[in-house]
Chain A
Amino acid sequence: MAEGGTFLKQGEQRTYGRFEEAHRLREQSRAVNLGKSEQYGSLILGGGMITAGFARRGLSGAAMIALGTLLVRRGFTGHSPLYERFGVSTAPAIAPGVPDNVGIKVERKITINRSPAEIFGFWRDFRNLPRFMKHLERVEIVDSRRSRWVSRAPAGRIVEWDAEIINEHPNELIAWQSLPGADIENAGSVRFTLAPGGRGTEVKVDFEYNPPGGVFGALAAKLFGEAPEQQVEDDLMRLKQVLEAGELATTEGQPAGRSRKRGRRI
């Protein structure tokens, strides 16, 4: 019985995956992947080439007209098949709450064996965040949209910022960004999607921030084991532990026979 059930679930998941993939490809073929300046550039250059092509005539003229037409089309639609092929995009990111051109980007997913409503509810009360975000000291609620965050930064520094919710769909999405004057400019979003076959909820975090000391600061942090991807990964693992097990698994404070010489990892 159990095996039959598993088999069916796998089948369902596969169909679901294929559907998703087709949908994604369809979306992608229409997606804007050019920035505004590049779109205008394409229009002007394309227009110029068509005009010049008509003036020249002959084979080279026809080629210029054809190329110009392609450029004009690229400018109008904002879509470049060539860029798509190489995975390049000059268009601004459209993820809610994540402004363009902010330094370090992190994206992580985890599946939690709880309902979207339960996880959304826990996260939406920002005072809960320090329970699983290791570096976060505390979050104070200012009003229904604004909150004040205090966090520990590398080298023992304390950083603070005010944040504002910029998008919210109950049980589905929370997006926030820091307000002007933040010690660390940042923005992020968290999405909650029902996982297939009773596997709980898929939680996806997108997070961007301008690290103190710029990209070099981030590199230095990485050298000291404070890589942002790992921090987010760690934090999500702790969120899962808090929500599922009700506590964080730990061995800190347990006995060991290391009094005479320090332990060394082999």
Chain B
Amino acid sequence: MKAITWQGWHKVEIDSVPDPEILNPRDVIVRVTLTAICGSDLHLYDGYIPTMEKGDILGHEFMGEVVEVGKAITNLKKGDRVVVPFAIACGQCYYCQQNLTSLCDNSNPNALQAERLFGSSGSGLFGYSHLYGGYAGGQAEYVRVPFADTGCLKIQNGFPDEQVLFLSDILPTAYMAAENCGIQMGDIVAVWGCGPVGQLAIRCALMFGAERVIAMDDIEGRRGLAAHHERVTTLDSNDPDLLDKLKELTGGRGPDSCIDAVGMEAHGTSIGALYDQAKTATLLATDRPNVLRQAILACRKGGTVSIPGVYAGFVDKLPFGAAFAKGLTFKMGQTHVHRYMQPLLNRIEQGEIDPRFIITHRINLSDGPEAYETFRSNKDECVKVVMKP
């Protein structure tokens, strides 16, 4: 079959690889009908995530048709149309039973490696480095889905793929980011990054009843897409007076919650951002926490910093004194996708949200490698790429 494989720094290619097979009783094989490139795939493309190996199949946002089922699977059959969550979860461990599926104890075969780095291991993820299990991803014609009986969401409403695909990751991710803000009446939510997750987080924050959302990005087109509603204000994230403007827009209080939908590869022109670039370039630091710094400094006293953006290693010069002095709450982590899929499918069915507005590029899987570059370099007003195998 055809699959997009990681080959090194800024190098992915379309490869011919063997078809996946059932390896465990709770596996199914899915024929992929639609898949996407995630902003977090760019961290792999840019070489920011350790333990990638040449030839790893990428992709963790995908859906398709079940073509083969393992012998322990009773709730799925051939021909079922399913969306697959990017986190792999057994459904039986303490964390799964607390609905914290991205912290599953049992789905990462390389858990000990992750334990040594982080103290304990999160769940396995599709196509997201060997630290997260080394599972082959879904930017391929076929994919093996482990623990498919807890993982797959059946789609029976006949909605087109494009409308439900993002239940696999970015819609639940954006929703959890907004939910983590604990939005109360009158709250103003600041969102850094108007990429796919940022765009959806803005809409979710409004769904949660935010008084106003302040959306920040350095790309004008993305700010334009964000400003879809009268309760959204946009700011250029490269504005040197960004923090002052945030205060001004919030009556001098600061945003009640701040969402970092950028993560560890934040760009910027501030002294801090240049310092980060120098340090990561010389391998003295792994992550560039420029947005996180701004979020901490901007957030109002007692507010919440919600972090859906990915961090992988060490951050430097975080204003932790400010976080402490202001009594901030931090909420973060890989999304517990499983618990949001059905409720969000219901919202899509009821027309409360239609995530299709972020799709800018519809291509064939074979054109995926170029699309990585287009997406990374923000060419062609690219926000979201979906691919048909």
Do chains A and B interact in one complex? yes
Residues of A within 8 A of B (CB): 111, 113, 199-200, 230, 233-234, 237, 240-241, 244-259, 261, 263-266
A193 to chain B, nearest CB (A): 16
* A–B Cβ pairs within 8 angstroms, 12 of them: A230-B112, A240-B93, A244-B93, A247-B26, A248-B109, A249-B88, A249-B146, A250-B24, A250-B109, A255-B3, A257-B17, A258-B55
The reply to whether B133 and A249 contact each other, CB–CB distance below 8 Å, is yes
Complex interface residues of chain B between 50 and 85 (CB less than 8 A to chain A): 50-57, 72
The residue that A199 contacts in the complex, of B54, B94, B147, with Cβ under 8 A, is B94
Q: How far is the CA of A216 from the CA of B277 in the complex (A)?
A: 47
Contacts of B20 in A (CB 8 A): 254-255
Given A245-B92, A245-B93, A256-B55, residue A251 in contact with residue B134 (CB < 8 A):
yes
Does A254 contact B136, Cβ atoms closer than 8 Å?
Answer: yes
B contact face: mostly helix, strand, loop, or mixed: loop
Question: Is there a chain A Cβ closer than 8 Å to B25's Cβ?
Answer: yes
In the bound complex, how far is the Cα of B97 from the Cα of A44, in angstroms? Answer: 62
* Contact stretch, chosen from B100-108, B239-247, B255-263, B348-356: B100-108
CB-nearest residue of chain B relative to A252?
B23
Assembled-state Cα–Cα distance A111/B53 (Å): 32
Q: Tell whether, in the assembled complex, residue A241 and residue B106 are in contact, meaning their CB atoms are under 8 Å apart.
A: yes
**Residues of B contacting A199 in the complex (Cβ-Cβ under 8 angstroms):** 94
Chain B residues lying within 8 Å of A241, measured Cβ to Cβ, are 90, 106
Using Cβ atoms and an 8 Å threshold, which residues of chain B touch A264?
53-54
By the criterion CB–CB under 8 Å, are B54 and A244 in contact? no
CB pair A113 B92 closer than 8 Å = yes
Q: Is the CB of A255 within 8 A of B124?
A: no
**What residues of B have a CB within 8 angstroms of the CB of A230 in the complex?**
112
Interface residue ranges of B83-134 to A (CB < 8 Å): 88, 90-94, 97, 105-109, 111-112, 124, 130, 133-134
- Indicate which residue in A237, A255, A263 contacts B53 across the interface (CB closer than 8 Å): A263
For the complex, what is the distance from the CA of A249 to the CA of B72, rounded to whole Å? 14
**Contact residues in A for B158 (Cβ distance below 8 Å):** none
In the assembled complex, which residues on chain A have CB atoms less than 8 Å from the CB atom of B112? 230, 233-234, 237
Verify B144–A254 contact, CB threshold 8 A. yes
- Let me know if B251 is at the binding interface, CB within 8 A: no
- Would you call A263 and B147 a contact (CB within 8 A)? no
- Asked if B160 is at the interface of the complex by the 8 Å CB criterion, the answer is no
The reply to whether B24 and A266 form a contact with Cβ atoms under 8 Å apart is no
Can you name the residue of chain B whose Cβ is closest to the Cβ of A110? Answer: B105
Given contacts A113-B94, A251-B134, contact A245 B3 (CB under 8 A): no
Q: In the bound complex, do residue A249 and residue B107 qualify as a contact, i.e. CB atoms below 8 Å apart? A: yes
Q: How far is the CA of A210 from the CA of B13 in the complex (A)?
A: 51
Q: Is B321 an interface residue (CB 8 A)?
A: no
Q: Does B19 contact A255, Cβ atoms closer than 8 Å?
A: yes
* Complex: A12 Cα to B57 Cα, angstroms: 46
A244 and chain B: residue at smallest CB distance: B92
Do the beta carbons of A257 and B25 come within 8 Å of each other? no
> Which residues of A sit under 8 angstroms from B108, Cβ to Cβ?
249
Q: Which of A256, A263, A266 contacts B50 (CB 8 A)?
A: A266
Docked Cα-Cα span, A143 to B254, in Å, equals 73
Closest to A237 in B: B111
Report yes or no: B26 in contact with A246, Cβ–Cβ below 8 A.
Answer: yes
Residue B135 CB within 8 A of the other chain = yes
B234 within 8 A of A: no
Report yes or no: A240 in contact with B105, Cβ–Cβ below 8 A.
Answer: yes
- Complex alpha-carbon distance, A233 and B47, angstroms: 31
Q: With an 8 A cutoff between CB atoms, is B21 at the interface?
A: yes
Interface readout for B1-39 with A: 1 if CB under 8 Å, 0 if not?
101010100000101111111011110000000000000
CA distance A257 to B52 in the complex (A): 13
The list of the 6 closest CB pairs from A to B, nearest first, reads A257-B15, A257-B5, A258-B55, A245-B90, A257-B55, A263-B53
